[in-house]
Chain A
């Protein structure tokens, strides 16, 4: 039976940091040479025994929905693009949920960029989301969506900084359902 926990388990962080330092020392030259598969053969992936869980108790027609995208989306001319570093850029960019998708670009260099540049909706479906709200199938979109680059080697930073900051912003925006769309 899967253990269920209302809060994230962070007991793994200290051990991970030690293993990450050792791994990164050897992996950095491979990562900088874009030899990701070779580098990640020895990455200290984290396994969890607990599943965070809270049931959705309201109909979709009443939810306030936020979306988290790891496609590295940023606003052209407003946000600095995510940096292409061996460690991974830990910045999170907040995107207004009413933004014109054509004003966005992707800075994620570990995925095919062409489909996203042709139509941002393939990675973050702004237009279909708005249709669902107009048709009252989804209650509302939160003020802010969240964008970062899915290439992150510092799992500890994701768990201790990025995710809690996103969660705090969602609480502020009274989000009741969050959709995470990795790439």
Chain B
């Protein structure tokens, strides 16, 4: 599972998850940024192998590099 808000993910107790600091709705990165989308996907799938303990988490180092996303009067580059 992927998530961008640990406080919302952790109570659900997923078997394993990756924490990605991208805005809501764009968990794989900026539109058209195929290189980043692929890297996030590949590392997420790798985490399925490397996480050996129930509830384990991998934190991704990537940050949003596009324009902030406008949503309900806010400009978002991370989380909800």
Partner of B2, one of A56, A118, A180: A180
A96 interface contact, C-beta 8 A: no
Given known contacts A112-B23, A125-B37, A128-B34, is B28 in contact with A2 (CB within 8 Å)?
no
Q: Please report the total number of B residues contacting A with Cβ < 8 Å.
A: 36
- Separation of A105 and B28 alpha carbons in the complex (Å): 17
Tell me how far the C-beta of A136 lies from the nearest C-beta in chain B, rounded to whole angstroms.
13
A99 interface contact, C-beta 8 A: no
Interface 9-mer from A17-25, A43-51, A75-83: A43-51
Given known contacts A115-B69, A125-B38, is B28 in contact with A180 (CB within 8 Å)?
no
- Separation of A56 and B37 alpha carbons in the complex (Å): 23
Which residues of A, 113-139, contact B by the 8 Å Cβ criterion?
Answer: 113-116, 118-119, 121-123, 125, 127-129, 131-132, 137-138
Q: Please report the total number of A residues contacting B with Cβ < 8 Å.
A: 44
Q: Are B13 and A51 interface neighbours, CB within 8 A? A: yes
- B 35-63 binary contact with A (CB < 8 Å = 1; else 0): 00110111011101100101100000000
Which residues of A, 124-180, contact B by the 8 Å Cβ criterion?
Answer: 125, 127-129, 131-132, 137-138, 177, 179-180
B14 interface contact, C-beta 8 A: yes
Given known contacts A48-B12, A51-B15, is B25 in contact with A116 (CB within 8 Å)?
yes
Q: Are B41 and A132 interface neighbours, CB within 8 A? A: yes
Partner of A54, one of B15, B37, B45: B15
Partner of A128, one of B38, B48, B71: B38
For chain B, what secondary structure do more than half of its interface residues adopt (helix, strand, loop), or is it mixed?
mixed
- A 26-70 binary contact with B (CB < 8 Å = 1; else 0): 000000000000000000011111111111100110000100000
- Separation of A2 and B14 alpha carbons in the complex (Å): 12
Q: Are A48 and B1 interface neighbours, CB within 8 A? A: no
Tell me how far the C-beta of A158 lies from the nearest C-beta in chain B, rounded to whole angstroms.
11
24 chain-A/chain-B pairs, Cβ below 8 angstroms: A47-B11, A50-B13, A51-B14, A51-B15, A51-B55, A53-B15, A53-B54, A56-B49, A108-B25, A112-B25, A112-B69, A114-B70, A115-B30, A118-B32, A122-B27, A125-B37, A125-B40, A127-B34, A127-B37, A128-B28, A177-B48, A179-B1, A180-B2, A181-B1
Q: Which 7 A-B pairs have the closest CB atoms?
A: A119-B31, A118-B31, A111-B25, A53-B54, A128-B38, A51-B54, A122-B26
